[in-house]
Amino acid sequence: MDISVEEKFIKIGLISISDRASSGKYKDEGLPNLKNWLTKVLVKPFDLEEIIIPDEIEVIKNTLINLSDKKSCDLILTTGGTGPAKRDVTPEATLSVGDKEMPGFGEQMRQISLSFVPTAILSRQVAVIRNTTLIINLPGQPKAIEETLGGLKDGKGNLLVPGIFAAIPYCLDLIGGPYIETKESILKSFRPKKK
């Protein structure tokens, strides 16, 4: 008996957190940049939920909870609000809704960004797991987003420092998310070899 199983595509929530972008005073570049990067890197189609919100801790928390619990996003990527300024509250909101903190993601993003700017030590990106959703705060600048996701390469395209996205597929495997693959010519994701 042949039973066809419906393939589950990953559902990704993209959140731009910016007072100016949410009020229309500034054109958001983070979400289009993220969407283009994901389209280049992921092998299979994916579903997206995109939203631009202000730097308000309760709005951020409610948006993360809604995308995780009600919209069933497997992965949520945020941009903005991770610096030391008074209105930068994205990490606090993210940590408050998570079940487990995943500090390696923030550490690696800062490591990569420090190769470009000494002010990377001021960034406070965090990552958490909420139920079966992985939530990661990314930097706000489009160039920094690409660098932290994809990693550092030399002039010949050889990888010097792995980006954080190389670990995301296996993390999703471990928390019960969908199986995703990356285009290895662009980004090789890591999974342990099967014994």
Number of H helices, E strands in the chain: 7, 8
Predicted pLDDT at 2: 46
Closest-CA residue to 94 (of 140, 142, 130, 53): 130
Q: What is the mean pLDDT of the chain?
A: 92
DSSP 90-136: HHHHHHHH-SEE-HHHHHHHHHHHHTT-GGGGG----EEEETTEEEE
Q: Other CB atoms closer than 10 Å to residue 158's CB: what's the count? A: 8
Give the side-chain half-sphere CA count within 13 A for 144: 23
- Is residue 17 a contact partner of residue 63, using CB atoms and an 8 Å limit? no
The pLDDT of residue 24? 83
- Amino acid in the structure at residue 2: D
Q: What pLDDT, on the 0 to 100 scale, is given for residue 6?
A: 54
32 within 8 A of 105, measured Cβ to Cβ = no
Query: For domain 11-174, is the CATH number 3.40.980.10?
Result: yes
pLDDT over 80 at 3, yes or no: no
Write the pLDDT tens digit of every residue in 126-167: 999 999 999 999 998 888 999 999 998 888 878 888 899 999
The pair of structure tokens assigned to 109 is 């993003």
* Residue 189 contacts residue 46 (beta carbons within 8 Å): no
First to last CA, the chain: 30
Q: Flag the least confident range among 28-32, 55-59, 96-100, 124-128.
A: 28-32
Question: pLDDT digit string (tens) for 102-129?
Answer: 999 999 999 999 988 899 999 999 999 9
Indicate whether 37 pLDDT > 60: yes
- Rounded CA separation 181/170 (Å): 10
Q: What six digits make up the tokens of 124?
A: 């406070």
* Domain locations in the chain as residue ranges: 11-174
Coil vs helix vs strand at 191: coil
Return the SS3 of 48.
Answer: strand
Q: To which H or E segment does residue 12 belong?
A: strand 11-17
